[in-house]
Amino acid sequence: MLKGKTALVTGSTSGIGLGIAKALAAEGANLVLNGFGDSAGPQAEIAALGVQVAYHGADMSRPAEIEAMMAFAAERFGRVDILVNNAGIQHVAKIEDFPVERWDAVIAINLSSAFHATRLALPAMKAANWGRIINVASVHGLVASAEKAAYVAAKHGIVGLTKVTALETATTGVTCNAICPGWVLTPLVQKQVDAKAVAMGLSNEEAKKQLLQEKEPSMQFTTPEELGELAVFFCSAAGNNVRGVAWNMDGGWTAQ
């Protein structure tokens, strides 16, 4: 379905971003990967799906590096047809104890980076009259949890950015939507499981159950593969007029 298209997924060396990248590659899209840590493994996984793959290590907290990454993608593949703004970090602390430097980092990586990548991707998408921008928000773009001030502010912000982008592209073949996962068992969440296990004297399995019990009625983690399929739907022809939604895949978290 996506043969000949190019997708750029930020933060795709791990977790949800890698899951979405694999789902898009399985549909034939060429991929530009980004993120920290091992990039050779994820590149090999994507190449095994029979598409072209490139990697750029831009730090998404730095606008100049985002510009370099978008220029690299355009040079390598002509243009970016599908932009998935996924890179994100978490920091958990009460507002009065929240390190100012962590607030700035979360806002830069989880929110401002999406603005920069979007502003740089839009001209070519509009010129081609086709494009998909998918922002990986969170249930925390719709509701709050204590001790996640920067994350919740950034995720509510990205849901707002999604709506504005959808309105500014509404008469074109470019769409913009957000995905709002509940708990997904990635390294980002494993850190929170580990912290809970230590704080409450629980085993890893007990801490996972406790985490789910507090918020997610299904008592199941959503998987990167399931989120990948939702991204594929947004890219399909059936998604042509799906614009500005914040689609939760959260085991009932926000239905409560």
When asked if residue 118 is in the footprint of ligand NAD (CB under 6 A), the reply is no
When asked if residue 43 is in the footprint of ligand NAD (CB under 6 A), the reply is no
When asked if residue 186 is in the footprint of ligand NAD (CB under 6 A), the reply is yes
d(CA 245, CA 219): 25
State the minimum distance, in angstroms, from the CB of residue 3 to ligand NAD.
25
Tokens 């991929």 correspond to 31
Three-state DSSP at 39 gives coil
d(CA 159, CA 155): 6
Point out which span in 29-37, 68-76, 170-178, 195-203 binds ligand NAD (CB under 6 A): 29-37
State the minimum distance, in angstroms, from the CB of residue 170 to ligand NAD.
25
> Which residues fall within 8 angstroms of residue 193, CB to CB, at 6 or more apart?
185, 204, 207, 208, 211
Cα–Cα nearest to 84, from 141, 35, 144: 35
Q: Give catalytic residue positions.
A: 151
Binding to ligand NAD in span 191-220, by CB under 6 A: none
Q: Considering only residues 138, 175, 177, 248, which one is a binding residue for ligand NAD as defined by CB under 6 A?
A: 138
Tokens 């994820």 correspond to 42
DSSP 173: S
Interface residues toward ligand NAD, by CB under 6 A: 11-17, 34-37, 59-61, 86-89, 109-110, 136, 138, 181, 183-184, 186-189
